[in-house]
Structure 1
């Protein structure tokens, strides 16, 4: 067992809900302040361009597809002139289910319910990120991790009627349950994450990796699992059920067998090609001088991302965090999907922020606050500019 694993395993049990909320309060208040700044910047920028900020958040791009699923169910598709078929079967069901529930029990529309779900889920995600970082690195680093997640350039997506916030909340709390030995809870949350986005398999992989490692360690140390072993196995069985169940259902509905979901994604020009399409996209930027600057920026960004992955390993992050962040990163970078969405697809990979959070936590409070405030202002402006652009995030 590594030093970090020994330290995290030796922590006392988690405090009660009220105590946990008080401990996380600085992180949640800071997160809410950053997101409020982002929404204010979006409102001002959109008004200057005679656009509705609320429409950008709730009734554009993917959010329209989610509300259509909530309202009409599955089966809607759009056939493009080039022959591509955009089917709403590509969108996993948990967010539309919650939108439908919100509209059923309140006067909210489906779009309004999606916005409320995302706002609440973003707070739950922030709390979950804090819980994980606090458990591994301490409270100060936990606060910094949440603030860094809030000030990401694409952080405005956390407030959109998209599934990223919901997925990140489920993933973060599943990982926290793994780190604290709550295997059934971890498996249940992983299953729900699998009903939210295809990358939910990353959460299941993290649960499996941690469970198998714990089993091998117990065998090596000659211990007996007892009831803990049963709960661990149950958590492993639950973890992949959400993603696997939906994918198999899509295959049955389309009549194309277990791989039918891949055909649905192919209609959107989505797939996994090991990063070939992304590499070609970056290389294509070097055909002219202004575009070459963007190409250099993309290469630098990928290099920094790789560097963060290496630092996470060197800092001996717990295995489930490494597996989860690694799978999310690989799927985001190696998918042949719309390239403008790759930053958004990386949004749930919050463990990659932990090395930066640890470094930020070591600064004096005044300096760390100044850094966060400066980055938050830039992020708010960029988010407003980004959503007011022509393409989807």
Structure 2
């Protein structure tokens, strides 16, 4: 962020305004200040409604501005920076619980040095989602399904891809109930009635935030089932198993394109490769489901191709294969890789926020 600030001052821009009001940040601040109801109609027929943005983050901004003498943008930054710290702590706690401290430290370092990690310093929702996801997964692996489901519900109120957390909770609950049933049939049940109730309650809570907001948008637009997806279509965002993304890739081959598009393609392909390597490590079920759903939503969705790396930012388990490789490498090689990643992150993050013509 320091390098970005220096460059922003050099070109006559305010670092705080760039971090607090760029692109989606402005939409969140407006929702916090005025509520929902803003719709933009563009000459090409696109219709962009603020109903596409989930309510928890602007709700927290509104709450903060009600008790502190700060603007919506500043409140958004305070929330994002706090959430980024909570997310880093949660990632460390989760990986340390499943593996060890060294690997946990490396995953946190690598996560903070991703090419799009500048987003963690902006008034965006990715830090908040990552925090809820990390601590929900931690609650799952430590046997606290009610906490896991509650945090998953909050994740589902934060971003559309927050449903990945709910999917992980439901998958783990289903597995535990299935194994409990088999043990009961065999005459030896390792789970009491209270534990079973907590599992069911956690699974019910987990998707409630995401589904509740979709239903609210549907009722508001007059289409309870498809209303939210119609709103997203107005932003050219839909899930089409990657057909739209392939069209963007073809256009990159046949015509000049914005630098962010090939970079997004490289980073997204790296994410898919890391997913394969991650699955080969036979990780814990919560991490598998959460990460796979995030990657599926990112790769299979169309619209805002340049933002795909940002959508993958909360998928921190993807960094486990790289972190494991660094633990096995010589110290000099590991330091070189980390330094190179840091240099690319600082330079590319500065470019995205100060020079790039399209939204992150």
TM class, shorter-length: over 0.9
Structure 1 residue 90 corresponds to structure 2 residue 52: yes
In structure 2, the CA distance between the partners of 1:291 and 1:162, relative to structure 1 (3 Å rule), is closer
Match of residue 223 from structure 2: 256
**After superposition, where does 1:121-270 map in structure 2 within 5 Å?**
121-222=83-184, 223-226=189-192, 227-270=194-237
In 1: Cα distance, 2:46 partner to 2:337 partner: 45
Deviation of 1:46 (Å): 1.0
In 2: Cα distance, 1:345 partner to 1:376 partner: 20
In 1: Cα distance, 2:14 partner to 2:259 partner: 32
Match of residue 290 from structure 2: 324
Q: Which moved more, 1:220-229 or 1:150-159?
A: 220-229
Structure 1 residue 312 corresponds to structure 2 residue 274: no
Structure 1 residue 382 corresponds to structure 2 residue 344: no
Match of residue 248 from structure 2: 281
Cα pair 1:45 1:385 within 8 Å, conserved: no
Deviation of 1:366 (Å): 5.8
Q: 2:160 aligns to what SS in structure 1?
A: coil
Cα pair 2:115 2:348 within 8 Å, conserved: yes
Q: Which runs of 4+ in 1 moved over 4 A?
A: 290-303, 364-367
In 2: Cα distance, 1:135 partner to 1:327 partner: 22
Task: Give 2:304's match in structure 1, choosing from 332, 338, 353.
Answer: 338
In 1: Cα distance, 2:36 partner to 2:265 partner: 39
Cα pair 1:285 1:294 within 8 Å, conserved: no
Q: 1:199 aligns to what SS in structure 2?
A: helix
Structure 1 residue 355 corresponds to structure 2 residue 355: no
In structure 2, the CA distance between the partners of 1:97 and 1:372, relative to structure 1 (3 Å rule), is same
Structure 1 residue 65 corresponds to structure 2 residue 31: no
In 1: Cα distance, 2:59 partner to 2:208 partner: 17
Cα pair 2:264 2:307 within 8 Å, conserved: no
In 2: Cα distance, 1:380 partner to 1:294 partner: 15
- Is there any run of 5+ residues in structure 2 with no aligned partner, and where? none
Match of residue 30 from structure 1: none
Task: Give 2:39's match in structure 1, choosing from 73, 77, 94.
Answer: 77
In 2: Cα distance, 1:255 partner to 1:383 partner: 41
In 2: Cα distance, 1:62 partner to 1:107 partner: 22
